[in-house]
A and B are shown apart, each in its own frame.
Chain A
């Protein structure tokens, strides 16, 4: 069955607008996705029907708020195939999730221990580990990529050692679109006894994430890249690992018993969720997941594949355009540069034509240096984009190239 993109688009009110008289063509989905009406409705319903704090009120509103909030956790657990709902920790986003893990591992690393990341990391999955290593005098090892943006699997294997305590890598690269074979890599790392952390910020929105099948220990993602609101995300952790994971923030909600002298911690998941949570965010994120789960995943994936294939084909035929990142397994992202033009200039002229892309270093400065570019222009696609929009991108690019020549 093919995806009815027209009908899908109608569920995204924001997409119907014009920018400077041109229809908005939103191709910045790797930065954040738009939100369907179902998500907007769920957030509005929470605030209009049952806004109250969770887990504490002795009244009907609080009961209902708690019910919706905890049901949201169930939706996430089911969506990613967690072993249990206690493995789902609410965070403010991928960044916070990774910081919870980095903070914990920093307390356990010994001098000379090793943490491994890749050259394609987003700063969120690099600076975190770098700082954890600095604090504990551990060694950060960076697995190289090939020139086409694919991970050097042989190097990954060779660089693992008996001292590798943790391996962190992205499911999908935000700057290049490279899909990493995370199941295989997780298995290699597990053989050495290392913890495996997947930065799922870009992987989650393409569907089919099964944390048990992947075999990792942590998988972090953000609601806003999955058609949900900003300010909410999830850190999934394997129960046995999470169980005694060092606490992150301290305060209300996460404690069992408190005296002036000392405190004991509560049980998972609350132990890692101090303070009043982002209740509306969690409910909105679950609404996004429920909405996404009702789609025909195969049709979504095949539509996304078509979008990228069409974009890649037109990019290859475009004189003076160089694609940055052409790993064999790639999804959602076309990064490129136009000969002789700065990406910021290209973005500027596309913007005036109603086309939203991102330009710059994509929060991956070391990766840009590795690739020898100052930055790229990046078009990133989501399920509501159309092939016509891909054509519009290239028409607008032609104009940009002419004007900048």
Chain B
């Protein structure tokens, strides 16, 4: 299934006025995130949060970065889907100029990607940015 783009997500989330709908939307996004092959979930791709684990796989093709991500927690998967909407299938330049903090602020989710949350999300964002820098 095709995941929505980042602008679409910002619009969708703005449309809901209560938290339950917003969270339900993120949960549903998490469920629709294509799962990563178990064989791809190797130790070197693991970003350990203290509460949940996240795997990140990256490859580059025709100047564009493709990512696969997965987590054992569904809401983290939903948040990862938001990150993917911003970063997947983009050029390194696009990735590095994208203002992720502003994006999460617009989504009213910045509390959930703070480094202290321990869900590995912030670490994934940094890792993706590192990969983008290296592939420039």
Residues of A within 8 A of B (CB): 20, 341-345, 347-349, 352, 359-361, 374-375, 399, 403-404
Main secondary structure on A side of the interface with B: helix
**Interface residues of B, Cβ cutoff 8 Å to A:** 19-20, 23-24, 27, 49-52, 72-76, 112, 118-119
Are B19 and A344 in contact, with the CB atoms below 8 A? no
| Given known A342-B73, A352-B19, A404-B74, contact A347–B27 (CB-CB < 8 A) | no
Contacts A342-B73, A344-B73; is A404 near B27 (CB within 8 Å)?
Answer: yes
A403 touches B52 (CB 8 A): no
User: What residues of B have a CB within 8 angstroms of the CB of A399 in the complex?
Assistant: 20
Do B20 and A403 touch (CB < 8 A)? yes
* A404 neighbours in B (Cβ, 8 Å): 27, 74
The reply to whether A349 and B23 contact each other, CB–CB distance below 8 Å, is yes
Which A residues lie within 8 Å of B24 (CB)? 403
Known contacts: A342-B72, A344-B75, A344-B119. The answer to whether A403 contacts B51 by CB under 8 A is no
The answer to whether A342 touches B52, judged by C-beta atoms less than 8 angstroms apart, is yes
Chain A residues in 8 Å Cβ range of B19: 20, 352
Known: A344-B119, A345-B74. A360 touches B23 (CB 8 A): no
Taking a contact as CB atoms under 8 Å apart, the answer to whether B52 and A344 are in contact is yes
A360 to B120: give the CA distance in the assembly, Å: 13
Known: A348-B75, A374-B72. A343 touches B23 (CB 8 A): no
A395 nearest CB across to chain B (Å): 13
B38 CB, min distance to chain A CBs, angstroms = 15
Separation of A352 and B52 alpha carbons in the complex (Å): 18
Q: Which of B20, B23, B51, B74 interacts with A347 by CB under 8 Å?
A: B51
The answer to whether A403 and B73 have CB atoms under 8 Å apart is no
Known A344-B76, A345-B75; judge A359-B51 contact (CB<8 A).
Answer: yes
The minimal Cβ–Cβ distance linking A380 to chain B, given in whole angstroms, is 16
In the A-B complex, the 5 residue pairs with the closest CB atoms: A342-B73, A344-B73, A344-B52, A344-B51, A360-B51
Closest to B31 in A: A404
Q: How far is the CB of A75 from chain B (nearest CB, A)?
A: 33
Question: B112 — which chain A residues lie within 8 A by C-beta?
Answer: 348
Q: Once the chains bind, are B50 and A360 in contact (CB under 8 Å)?
A: yes
